[in-house]
Structure 1
Amino acid sequence: MVQDAYGVHSDFEFGNNVEEAPNAECRIFFEQLETASRPLYEGSPHSQLFIALRLLSIKSDWNVSQGEMDSVIDLIHDLVDAKLEIHDNFYKAKRLVSKLGLSSMRIHCYENGCMLYCKDDIDLEWCKFCGKSRYKLGPNGKKVVVKAMHYLPLIPRLKRLYASNSSAPYMRWHHENRRPPGIMCHPSDREAWKHFDRTYPDFAAEPRNIRLGLCSNGFTPHSISAAPYSCWPVFLTPYNLPPEMCNTSQYIFLNFVIPSPRNPKFLIDVYLQPLINELKQLWIQEVETFDVSLKQNFKLRASLMWTINDFPAYGMLSGWMTAGKLACPYYMENTKSFTLKHGRKNSWFDYHRPFLPMDHEFRNMKNALKKNTVERG
């Protein structure tokens, strides 16, 4: 009652709704967005930004060349009022959208995946493990990088979630919509999520901190008859959102694609270095972020809660060998696998009996399952 009378609330759910001005980075973004979103004329439903986005979409969907787009823009200028602020060419339209878009990085990497040329190694011209050159000579005699990958930074994308009213209010959904015990409709209802909150109460105290899931797997983008090529994209998903939002395409962020015609295998950790560095920064250093729904600046943190992939990819990401006798990551050295006498391969047959009740009749069968074996585990 005292808190209600004097308006003093320390708990997040009760408000603390002191509005603040956006930080410098977010303020610049809002100013650019407002400038680009002004209507072409009074009463017009369209803006410069709308036209630029439509032009980029048409060029991408129909694979139109830049010269053809410039010709279309010239025709638009001839047909409409010259006073309308429409871009003179495709380059200016692209430049307007790029100011509002999210950054990307082109990181040089060694052909065989030994290392990335970033951070302290950005100026090296030779691989520090095998000594091979970073560049090769192109057809015109100039140096061309042997291999590179495009990395889409994670932090700006997470900050953008709180800069939009279409997503910022829902980033607290997991905290504001708790279910009774025994009901599960979101990852926050699982024991893993609750155990994490108990282990790191300082992280759980801020509901706007983000829980991430990582998904990666390889696929062949070409036909089976073409040359073999293994493409490995890496995706990240924020699980703060409601179930109907966190599994939609606009909230599944492509982080990078491993640039190799071959399976990266145990070298996948080399390509994950930029992501690991960002996750460390989000966990230790925190990032200043503006929440447009509450008009507040806060220190954003994030944690990688789990990975989602098939069993072979699980072995690559976790470092556990998923082949051979010790393939099971749960049994580990207590595995009950055995080697087939004639096939000389490992078999995990009869692994289901330990999960049966102790008085189940299958546990005493010596011939119907594994021969001369009674299960007491």
Structure 2
Amino acid sequence: MLVHDRHARIQHARVHHRVQHDRVQHEDRIHEMVNDTFGIGDGMEPEQNLEEDPIKEARGFYKQLEEASHPLCEGSLDSTLTVAVRLLSIKSDWKVSQDAMDSMISLLGELENPELNIPQIFYQAKKLVSKLGLSYNRIHMLFNKNDVELENCKFYEHARYKWTPGGKMISIKVLHYLPLIPRLKRLYALMSSAPHIKWHYENRRPSGVLSHPLDREAWKYFDRTYPDFASESRNVRLGLCAYDFTPFSNSGTPYSCWPVFITSYNLLPEMCMTSPDIFLSCIIPGPRNPKCLIDVYLQPLIDELLQLWHEGVVTYDISTKQNFIMRTNLMWTINDFLGYEILSG
């Protein structure tokens, strides 16, 4: 009995420590985002250039962020946004159902100060966080853009839907795609990241020193080949990583998922490969290796990369208070040889 009680106390302490650590981590990130956006940060001064008003998209983001960052009550250090993000994190981490979340939120509303400005149901928390603009698109596999009205794929003759035993028609395979352009724009919308995008341009190394991809000959060759792109320090150089993993145990049914990640090589080395600066672009669903179909799954990402290379997008840089045309190029892909073979077709 004593051993059991001691084990239970240890487990409780571990769970409590994890919850406290997650809470502090989420609050630190949110406070940093709010403070940097509204000029309460590391004291960095913007460059002495002619300031411009943010584009409509950036103005909408700043307005939504300001509205969502109101304190829960007078004197509170927490905000409505902090609580909403924590609720979404708890639901995801512990696989809590939406009905259970609604019940817990209702209980909090009854026990705490009724003046607290917290979401009344989980849907309100989700809607509040979604206003920050980083959404995802649900795309039927093989039916992107101009093919949305088709019932059969024009390339492979695959059907779009199938019937379940219960008589419900569902799509055969769906890709959840996280658009790249809004995430790159967000890098320039916050003071915590905007000044660092030009790090690669301002920190050239002497010849023979290799400490960052910009020191490689491939980077220098690209600059010589496309001087118009290289002359704009705020253009973004990207890397892409795709490889399969099995989400279930090895003893279970074989299942292969392919996450696709995008990272920016503009940043200093210690930031390039950190979680906040690596973007999940999509997860190619299983259960089998996509093989030659991987180009179909990557079509939305390829469309955005082509747009960013040929045309660019108008972006607001909060560090200089200026709007500019942001362009990107895909410098490298990161794979083992199996993934390299599949990715290159």
TM-score, normalised to structure 2, is 0.83
Residues 177 and 43 of structure 1: CA distance in aligned 2, closer, same or farther (over 3 Å): same
Answering whether residue 128 of structure 2 is matched by residue 96 of structure 1, we say: yes
Question: What is the DSSP-based 3-state SS (H/G/I as helix, E as strand, rest coil) of the residue aligned with 1:35?
Answer: helix
How many aligned residue pairs are there?
A: 300
Residue 184 (structure 2) pairs with residue 158 (structure 1) = yes
Report what 1:28 is aligned to. 60
CA displacement, residues 314-348 of structure 1 (integer Å, 9 cap, x when unaligned) = 122223xxxxxxxxxxxxxxxxxxxxxxxxxxxxx
Q: Distance in 2 between matches of 1:27 and 1:50?
A: 21
SS at match of 2:253: coil
Distance between the aligned counterparts of 2:49 and 2:319, measured in 1?
10
Q: State, as a whole percentage, how many aligned pairs show the same letter.
A: 63
Q: Which residue of 1 aligns with 2:339?
A: 313
Counterpart of 1:74 in structure 2: which amino acid?
Answer: S
Query: Aligned runs of 1:130-145 on 2, under 5 Å?
Result: 130-145=156-171
Instruction: Give CA deviations for 1:140-162 in whole Å, capped at 9, x if unaligned.
Output: 43321111111111111101111
Residue 21 to residue 145, structure 1, CA distance change in 2 (3 Å): same
Question: Which residue of the partner structure matches residue 313 of structure 2?
Answer: 287
Written as runs of structure 1 = structure 2, the 5 A alignment for 1:207-246 is: 207-246=233-272
SS in 2 for 1:56: helix
Aligned counterpart, 1:81: 113
> Which of 182, 191, 195 is the aligned partner of 2:217?
191
Code of the aligned partner of 1:47: S
User: Counterparts in 2 of 1:251-330, with a 5 A limit?
Assistant: 251-319=277-345
Residue by residue over 1:32-67, the C-alpha shift from the partner in whole angstroms, topping out at 9 and shown as x without a partner, is 000010112232101110111111122222222222
Rounded to whole Å, the distance in 2 between the matches of 1:317 and 1:55 is 37
Deviation of 1:15 (Å): 5.2
The structural deviation recorded for 1:297 is 0.6
The Cα shift of 1:219 comes to 2.3
Residue among 109, 123, 126 paired with 2:149: 123
2: CA distance, partners of 1:216 / 1:315: 11
1:21 and 1:82, CA in 2 relative to 1: closer, same or farther beyond 3 A? Answer: same
How far does residue 229 in structure 1 lie from its aligned partner after superposition?
1.4
- C-alpha distance in 2, partners of 1:271/1:189? 33
Cα distance in structure 1, aligned partners of 2:120 and 2:47:
48
Task: Give the letter for the 2:111 counterpart.
Answer: L
Higher helix share: 2
Q: Does the residue aligned with 1:257 lie in a helix, a strand or coil?
A: strand
**C-alpha distance in 2 between matches for 1:142 and 1:228:** 26
Partner secondary structure for residue 117 of structure 1: coil
For residues 221 and 131 of structure 1, what CA distance do their matches in structure 2 show? 29
1:193-234 CA distances to partner (integer Å, 9 max, x unpaired)?
A: 111111101001111100001111122222222211122111
Whole-angstrom distance in 1 between the partners of 2:102 and 2:246: 36
Aligned partner of residue 189 in structure 2, secondary structure: coil
1:63 aligns with 2:89: no
- Given the two structures, how large is their TM-score scaled by the length of structure 1? 0.76
Instruction: Tell me which stretches of 4 or more aligned residues in structure 1 moved more than 4 Å.
Output: none
Aligned to 1:250: 276
1:50 aligns with 2:82: yes
Q: Separation in 1 of the partners of 2:95 and 2:156?
A: 41
Letter in 1 for 2:264: P
Q: CA shift at 1:189, angstroms? A: 1.0
